[in-house]
Amino acid sequence: MRAKLFLAVSAVVAIAVIAVVAGCAARSGASGSASSGASSYKRVTQEEAQQMMESESGYVIVDVRRQNEFDAGHIPGAICIPNESIGKEQPAELPDFDQLIMVYCRSGNRSRQAAEKLANMGYSNVVEFGGINTWPGEVVTD
C-alpha cells in the first residue's frame, strides 16, 4: 500500500515539475513573440534592435523608465513615456497604431510590461528589447 501511495505522489510531483519547466521554457528566450490573448509584441535582442534602428525608418524609441532615470541617460532619439503612465488610453506621443514602437527600460521588466500594455491597446508593431543597463550602443544625457 505504501509503495502505491509513493508512486502516485511521485507521479503527481513529476507532472507538476514538467508543467512548470515547460511553462518557463515557453517564456524564456531573447527573441520571439510574447502574447496575451489576441495581442502580441515581439521581443528582440539588443543587437537586433540596433540593426532595426539602422535599417528601418519612421520608428519611435520609447524609454519606459521614470523621467529622472531617462534624464540620467537614454538611447539617442528616445522619448520618455513611463510605464506607470501607460494605462488603457492611447498615449498622445504614440498616435499611429501601426508605427514601429521600440520599447526599453533599465533591465527589461518594465519594458515587457509596457510592450504588453501597448499591444493590448491595439498597437500592432511593438518591439521590446530589454534594458539600457546592457545596451551596447550610445547613451546620451540631458
Write down how long the chain is: 142
Query: Which sign does the torsion angle of CA 121, 126, 130, 133 carry?
Result: negative
Task: Give the three cell numbers for residue 112.
Answer: 515587457
Please identify which of the residues 75, 80, 94, 105 carries the catalytic annotation.
Answer: 105
Does residue 80 carry a catalytic annotation?
no
Query: Which sign does the torsion angle of CA 95, 100, 36, 17 carry?
Result: negative
Query: Which sign does the torsion angle of CA 85, 67, 119, 19 carry?
Result: negative
- HSE at residue 124, side-chain half, CA atoms within 13 A, is 4
Active site residues per annotation: 105
